[in-house]
């Protein structure tokens, strides 16, 4: 690039990537030149001081910016916030670990600026691309997830799961209000949300080994992927978080009955004590499961976990009162008992979900 006009914003979500920042910047400059671009690091409050490293560099390099998030986490939501903070008419998203080949950024930019593409995707699955040194199980899982994604999208995209892509700002503006922001596959989210046909260009690249640090993929990646697919499939009708919250609530009933039965039949406690212990156990189970699954991106840890538990139990206690009150009112007004009970459960569930979302997981504590 020879123009000083800002043409490209590169958005890089980070968590514990302090060792990779300088190397990434050096490689970007070698690949796309000295001017005409900016980079926005979106850091989820990394304990290794990634944000401090970025800010230190930014003091002497106006191309570099840091957006540090407190109390929330998630790759997709970080990318969304970074893209919204970006200034250029074209925005690229890539990882900080140097597994994405920065040398194809110039080709991607040409496809967008001159080739008319709305989105340019770095693909591992077209001719000339590869997944590098992945083991067989990871290759199989990736291929399976990619196949499922194509069925959902019904688009001729070889790598909809790619985390390396570039898009026009207009594409972001037309989709951002309807993005799920769930999980780690923001490209899939954008492609599934877009209403108008998109012109897509794919540029093959070879996926590299991580430069430094540890992989962030864990056993919950499949869950987050499933949450995203569920949200894009029927999330417009029912919030996917509410569905997960309700499923966990249903499992909590089994926990309640198991504890109640054990204390009554096995330990010979009185009913009042057994019922109280069962209720408390179910609430603790529901809170812990929701903290790990439903609100994984806002997970509470340490002292905040215990404060959240108290908040959740208070919320559910009020929800139980609402449940019984509504059901009793309807039953005494000649509503069939099953419908009255269902209405009470529904009111209690909606109350618990809405209030705990704000007061238990909505605060960055």
Which CATH number covers residue 148?
A: 3.90.550.10
Asked whether residue 167 falls in the same domain as residue 257, the answer is: no
Q: Where are the alpha helices (DSSP H) in 262-336?
A: 271-292, 303-332
CA atoms of 32 and 10, how far apart (whole Å) = 11
In a domain, 327, yes or no: yes
Asked whether residue 171 falls in the same domain as residue 47, the answer is: yes
Using pLDDT thresholds of 50, 70 and 90, give the confidence band for residue 43.
very high
Say yes or no to pLDDT of 150 above 70.
no
How many residues are recorded in the chain? 365
Mean pLDDT for all residues in the chain: 82
In a domain, 35, yes or no: yes
For the segment 170-189, what is each residue's pLDDT rounded down to a tens digit? Answer: 999 999 988 877 666 788 88
Asked whether residue 73 falls in the same domain as residue 219, the answer is: yes
Please compute the mean of the pLDDT values over residues 226-234 and round it to a whole number: 66
Asked whether residue 142 falls in the same domain as residue 251, the answer is: no
Asked whether residue 216 falls in the same domain as residue 248, the answer is: no
* Cα–Cα distances in angstroms (integers) from residue 295 to residues 35, 109, 140, 182, in the given order: 40, 36, 28, 10
Give the three-class secondary structure for 312.
helix
Report which of 193, 204, 199 is spatially closest to residue 231, judged by C-alpha positions: 193
pLDDT of residue 112: 94
Using pLDDT thresholds of 50, 70 and 90, give the confidence band for residue 142.
low
In a domain, 1, yes or no: no
* Most confident listed range (166-180, 183-197, 279-293, 322-336): 166-180
In a domain, 289, yes or no: yes
Asked whether residue 306 falls in the same domain as residue 352, the answer is: yes
In a domain, 308, yes or no: yes
Asked whether residue 341 falls in the same domain as residue 326, the answer is: yes
In a domain, 210, yes or no: yes
The last residue of one of the domains, among 202, 218, 234, is: 234
- Is the pTM for the entire model greater than 0.75? no
Please compute the mean of the pLDDT values over residues 8-13 and round it to a whole number: 95
Q: Which residue has the higher pLDDT, 296 or 170?
A: 170
pLDDT of residue 22: 94
CA atoms of 83 and 184, how far apart (whole Å) = 15
Please compute the mean of the pLDDT values over residues 125-140 and round it to a whole number: 70
Please compute the mean of the pLDDT values over residues 330-346 and round it to a whole number: 67
CA atoms of 137 and 284, how far apart (whole Å) = 35
In a domain, 3, yes or no: no
Asked whether residue 95 falls in the same domain as residue 36, the answer is: yes
Domains in the chain, number = 2
Asked whether the beta carbons of 321 and 354 are under 8 A apart, the reply is: no
Asked whether residue 253 falls in the same domain as residue 195, the answer is: no
Say yes or no to pLDDT of 221 above 70.
no
Say yes or no to pLDDT of 2 above 50.
no
The last residue of one of the domains, among 176, 205, 234, is: 234
How far, rounded to the nearest angstrom, does the alpha carbon of residue 294 sit from its chain's CA centroid?
11
Asked whether the beta carbons of 132 and 208 are under 8 A apart, the reply is: yes
In a domain, 365, yes or no: no
Please compute the mean of the pLDDT values over residues 59-71 and round it to a whole number: 92
Supply the DSSP symbol for 207: P
Asked whether the beta carbons of 103 and 179 are under 8 A apart, the reply is: no
pLDDT of residue 122: 92
Asked whether residue 205 falls in the same domain as residue 98, the answer is: yes
Lowest mean pLDDT among 63-67, 131-135, 311-315: 131-135
Asked whether residue 133 falls in the same domain as residue 96, the answer is: yes
Q: Where are the alpha helices (DSSP H) in the chain?
A: 21-32, 50-58, 75-85, 105-113, 136-153, 169-175, 186-193, 221-234, 240-261, 271-292, 303-332, 337-359
pLDDT of residue 113: 92
Residue 22: partners with Cβ closer than 8 Å, 6 or more residues away: 53, 57
Please compute the mean of the pLDDT values over residues 292-314 and round it to a whole number: 84
CA atoms of 97 and 10, how far apart (whole Å) = 14
- What range defines the domain where residue 283 resides? 240-359
CA atoms of 297 and 308, how far apart (whole Å) = 15
């Amino acid at each position: 690039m020879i123009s000083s006009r800002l043409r490209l914003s590169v958005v890089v979500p980070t968590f514990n990537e302090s060792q990779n920042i300088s190397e990434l910047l050096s490689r970007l400059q070698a690949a796309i030149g000295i001017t005409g671009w900016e980079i926005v690091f979106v850091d989820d409050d990394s304990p290794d001081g990634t944000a401090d490293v970025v800010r230190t560099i930014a003091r002497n390099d106006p191309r570099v910016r840091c957006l540090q998030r407190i109390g929330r986490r998630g790759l997709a939501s970080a990318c969304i916030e970074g893209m919204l903070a970006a200034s250029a008419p074209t925005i690229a998203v890539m990882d900080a670990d140097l597994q994405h080949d920065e040398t194809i950024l110039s080709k991607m930019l040409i496809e967008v600026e001159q080739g008319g593409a709305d989105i340019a995707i770095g693909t591992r699955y077209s001719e000339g691309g590869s997944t590098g040194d992945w083991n067989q199980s990871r290759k199989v899982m990736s291929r399976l997830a990619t196949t499922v994604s194509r069925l959902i999208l019904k688009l001729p995209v070889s790598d909809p799961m790619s985390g390396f892509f570039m898009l026009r700002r207009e594409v972001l503006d037309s989709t951002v209000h309807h993005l799920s922001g769930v999980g780690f596959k923001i490209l899939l989210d954008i492609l599934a949300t877009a209403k108008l046909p998109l012109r897509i260009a794919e540029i093959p690249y070879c996926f590299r080994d991580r430069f430094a640090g540890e992989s962030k993929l864990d056993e919950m990646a499949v869950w987050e992927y499933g949450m995203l697919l569920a949200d894009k499939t029927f999330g417009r009708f029912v919030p996917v978080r509410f569905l997960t919250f309700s499923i966990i609530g249903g499992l909590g009933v089994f926990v309640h009955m198991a504890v109640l039965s054990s204390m009554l039949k096995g330990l010979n406690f009185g009913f009042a004590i057994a019922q109280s212990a069962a209720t408390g156990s179910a609430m603790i189970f529901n809170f812990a499961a929701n903290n790990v699954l439903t609100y994984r991106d806002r997970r509470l840890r340490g002292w905040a976990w215990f404060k959240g538990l108290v908040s959740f139990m208070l919320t559910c206690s009020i929800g139980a009162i609402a449940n019984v009150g509504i059901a009793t009112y309807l039953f005494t007004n000649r509503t069939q008992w099953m419908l009255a009970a269902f209405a009470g459960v529904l009111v209690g569930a909606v109350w618990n979900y809405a209030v705990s979302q704000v007061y238990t997981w909505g605060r960055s504590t």
